[in-house]
Amino acid sequence: MRLWLTIALIPSAWAQPGPAIARGDKLFAQGCSVGYCHGAGGSAARSPRLRGRTFDRDYLIKVIRNGIPNTAMPAWGDRLTDADINELTVYIQTLANAPINVPGGPSTETPVTPAPEKAIDIPDEHRQGHDLFFDLTRETRCSVCHRLNGFGAAVGPDVTKGASINVTDGPQVLKYGRPRSVRTVILKDGERFAGAVLERSAAITHVYDLNSNPPVLRHLLNTDVQSIQRQSNWRHGNVVRGYSVEDLQSIWSYVRFVAAKK
């Protein structure tokens, strides 16, 4: 009889989640459930679906605390308490048996990404610029921060908007330019970093940390942010110093070619 009563009580217990699950749900909604990371209730967005999947508790704690290198999954260990991480872990584990689809949310695990641009055939004279822009052997390749012709990461601005600059002057702009969109983000704990602010809500600031390579998308509680100031020290030249002037001319020629095809 005692066993039967225990089993019978399980549905009502999940129908009224405990404080840890409720708190984890709130933390997830604030920092994880955004269009370019995990979707509503752990549904698929640009990051993988969590709903309907089973994760080891220790693994979740490690990933939440330390992040995943070279991905958009940041480390939260310096921004969340152990209790917060525990509550997030408990909440994510409750999603294992949840329906995969969320009403009004994505219906598959395919990430939500911008519509691909029309493919462009690259003529031989622009092939070198194309290859340099997307060169996987370079840690600071252009496509780490810029999206072009449907490929790359849209961390920085659309480079084709500056395509009116001629090929001779283009390398000088790339080497000595001071991007107006870069800001200095200063946190109340003393940390400061160069960042590209993606979005600010009433509670969260979503910003790409440019001190990391590739840039890491961070989700900061506004209560932890002291100020966001005009950047004065970050230079584009720091990330293109591995390219020669001839390389930069080839890249800029390719950018102008793509811009003309739009």
Cβ neighbours around 144 below 10 Å, total: 17
Cis peptide before 116 (omega within 30 of 0): no
- Containing structural domain, residue 226: 182-230
Quick one: 84 and 39 in the same domain? Answer: yes
For the CA atoms of the chain, what is the radius of gyration?
22
Q: What is the mean pLDDT of residues 33-47?
A: 65
Nearest Cα residue to 233 out of 198, 185, 169, 191? 185
CATH number of domain containing 203: 2.30.30.100
- Listed in sequence order, the residues at least 6 apart from 48 whose beta carbon sits closer than 8 Å to its beta carbon are 38, 109, 111
Quick one: 92 and 128 in the same domain? Answer: no
Q: Is residue 114 one of the residues assigned to a domain?
A: no
Question: Residue 200 pLDDT > 50, yes or no?
Answer: yes
Cβ neighbours around 25 below 10 Å, total: 20
Work out the mean pLDDT of the chain and round it to a whole number. 77
Please give the Cα distance from 43 to 16 (Å, whole number). Answer: 21
Quick one: 65 and 157 in the same domain? Answer: no
Q: Is residue 103 one of the residues assigned to a domain?
A: no
pLDDT in tens, 88-103: 898 888 888 776 655 4
- HSE-CB of 228 using CA atoms within 13 angstroms: 19
Task: Give residue for tokens 């100031």.
Answer: 229
Quick one: 88 and 37 in the same domain? Answer: yes
Q: What is the mean pLDDT of residues 28-37?
A: 67
Quick one: 129 and 65 in the same domain? Answer: no
Count: domains in the chain: 3
Question: Residue 187 pLDDT > 60, yes or no?
Answer: yes
Q: Is residue 9 one of the residues assigned to a domain?
A: no
pLDDT of residue 65: 92
Comparing 12-21, 153-162, 202-211, 251-260, which segment has the lowest mean pLDDT? 12-21
Query: Is 170:132 a contact under the CB 8 Å cutoff?
Result: no
Query: Is 199:159 a contact under the CB 8 Å cutoff?
Result: no
Q: CA dist 60 to 25, 52, 215, 228, Å?
A: 15, 15, 22, 31
Of 97, 113, 139, the one marking the end of a domain is 97
pLDDT in tens, 78-90: 888 999 999 989 8
2: confidence class by pLDDT, cuts 50, 70, 90: very low
CATH number of domain containing 57: 1.10.760.10
Q: Is residue 106 one of the residues assigned to a domain?
A: no
pLDDT of residue 106: 40
Quick one: 32 and 153 in the same domain? Answer: no
Give the tokens for residue 60.
Answer: 């979740």
Quick one: 169 and 247 in the same domain? Answer: yes
Give the three-state DSSP class for 196. Answer: strand
253: confidence class by pLDDT, cuts 50, 70, 90: very high
Question: Residue 226 pLDDT > 90, yes or no?
Answer: yes
Instruction: Give the strand pairing for 225-230 and 182-187.
Output: antiparallel
Give the tokens for residue 232.
Answer: 């004065």
Cβ neighbours around 9 below 10 Å, total: 10
Query: Is 207:227 a contact under the CB 8 Å cutoff?
Result: no
Please give the Cα distance from 42 to 34 (Å, whole number). Answer: 10
Secondary structure in 3-state letters for 68-127: CCCCCCCCCCCCCCHHHHHHHHHHHHHHHHCCCCCCCCCCCCCCCCCCCCCCCCCCHHHH
185: confidence class by pLDDT, cuts 50, 70, 90: very high
Quick one: 87 and 21 in the same domain? Answer: yes
Q: Is residue 6 one of the residues assigned to a domain?
A: no
pLDDT of residue 82: 92
How long is the chain?
262
pLDDT in tens, 103-161: 444 433 333 344 444 557 889 999 999 999 988 788 788 988 888 887 888 888 888 88
